[in-house]
Amino acid sequence: MAKRITYVSRFSKPMDERELQALGEAAAEKNQQNDITGFLMVSGGLFYQVLEGPEEKVDEIYAAIAADDRHTDLLLLRSEEDVSGRLYPDWSMKTINLDAASHVRLLPVKALVKAVYEQQRLIDNMIWAIERTVHHEMKSL
């Protein structure tokens, strides 16, 4: 069974171009060994990543990312199971640093990555408020 996940997280500390390149290279090597494909995009202190491949391997890598101290505020945006084909079959891990890219065409992508992260944080906060309110109200009934 193939699975595809998309997540966004914040850098836990600033990373320079060299560190980001090393991260991408290490991920590409590990992913190639595990039949994982996808991309890692970085912009404004955010990671945006798509991972696709065998379900158990995708889950293992995502769990490792969740435990990685370079990430904070990890948000799973999408999890797709039983995917029929890969979107990025030729990329063991394409790393795209939008902060280093000077192409004007990429400016909307940078804005979208930031907006996706901020909107997901707002949604998570609203869900938390609903759940806390319901929990509090149910206790008083």
What is the Cα Rg of the chain in Å?
Answer: 17
- What confidence score (pLDDT) does residue 37 get? 93
Q: Which helix (H) or strand (E) holds 8?
A: strand 2-11
Q: Is this model's pTM higher than 0.85 or not?
A: no
Place of tokens 């890969």: 86
**What does pLDDT average to over the chain?**
87
pLDDT, tens digit, 9 for 90 and up, residues 19-78: 988 988 999 999 999 999 999 988 888 889 999 999 999 999 999 999 999 998 898 988
Nearest to 50 by CA among 105, 3, 119: 3
Domains of the chain: 2-139 (3.30.70.100)
State in Å, rounded, how far the first CA of the chain is from the last one: 45
pLDDT, tens digit, 9 for 90 and up, residues 69-102: 999 889 898 899 998 889 998 998 888 888 776 6
Number of C-alpha atoms within 13 angstroms, CB side, residue 86?
20
